[in-house]
Amino acid sequence: MSRFQIGVMKEPWVDMEPPISTEPLRESIPMEKEKVSEVTTEKVIEVTTEKDVGSGTGKAPQLPALTPKSNTASDQATEEFINLTEKEEVERDLRNYPSLDQVTQREISRKFRAMQAKAKEQGLYVCDYTNYGLDICRYAVLLGLFIFTFANSYYMISAVCLGFFWQQIMFVAHDAGHLGITHDFLLDTVLGVLVADLCCGLSLGWWKSSHNVHHLVPNHPVSLFSNTLPSQFHRGCFYVWY
């Protein structure tokens, strides 16, 4: 990727809002509205076929008039409620959270890096593989119980054992998705794909995309599901580097 590098962003740098998010540009872009054909009179469509249609009149049943869909009072009230709620959330965050000015944000970054350096010095980023040895024993017991009970026709018990096995082994995919096992992108990705995609039927790529949002907005309950985030979170561009 270094061949495609065109520059280096040096700190301190100011957060840039994507041009498409700015109000003047957004207003200048023509939005294509759905065109609805208005039919004010009801018409009867004549069918010219060799054989009679329906009752033998040669005509199709009368079609209802098409009217353009309009926003109801309920839709407008819902939209106003959403806008008001978003505005209240923004105002509350501005009151309760640190200022977004460069000096304040730079001090927060400095404190975070100091804390991160302390965590590295204490070895908290070093993976303890002995714990995975204990985990593998637990996985093997659950998988063995599943095979034994299934072979002896205890299907309900085997299903419970298989469910626990899938649930427990997904923690390995979680750690691999965070590059927390080998800390190597290729190795952890392959391991995560083998566990999540092959063993559990869950796309690791989808999980990382949605899980990134959870870490971006960890205190928001709906951030676990990226498609249900409030609209203000969709207006910016987020990048997470593991």
Q: What is the pLDDT of residues 2-28, one digit of tens each?
A: 889 888 877 766 666 655 555 554 455
136-170 pLDDT per residue, tens: 999 999 999 999 999 999 999 999 999 999 999 99
Q: Higher model confidence: residue 133 or residue 49?
A: 133
Nearest Cα residue to 45 out of 34, 35, 58: 58
Cβ pair 200, 171 in contact under 8 A = no
Query: Within 13 Å and on the Cβ side, how many CA atoms surround 237?
Result: 7
% residues pLDDT > 70 (the chain): 65
DSSP 67-136: ------HHHHHHHHHHHHHHHHHHHHHHHHSPP-SHHHHHHHHHHHHHHHHHHHHTTTTS--HHHHHHHH
Separation CA 178–CA 242 (nearest Å)? 6
Interval 112-130 mean pLDDT = 91
222 pLDDT exceeds 90? no
CB 39 within 8 A of CB 66: yes
CA distances, 200 to each of 1, 69, 141, 168, 203 (Å):
32, 44, 17, 11, 9
**pLDDT at residue 227 tops 90:** no
Calpha distance 213→194 (Å, rounded): 23
What is the structure's pLDDT at 219?
Answer: 66
The 10s digit of each residue's pLDDT in 23-49 is 554 455 454 444 444 444 344 344 444
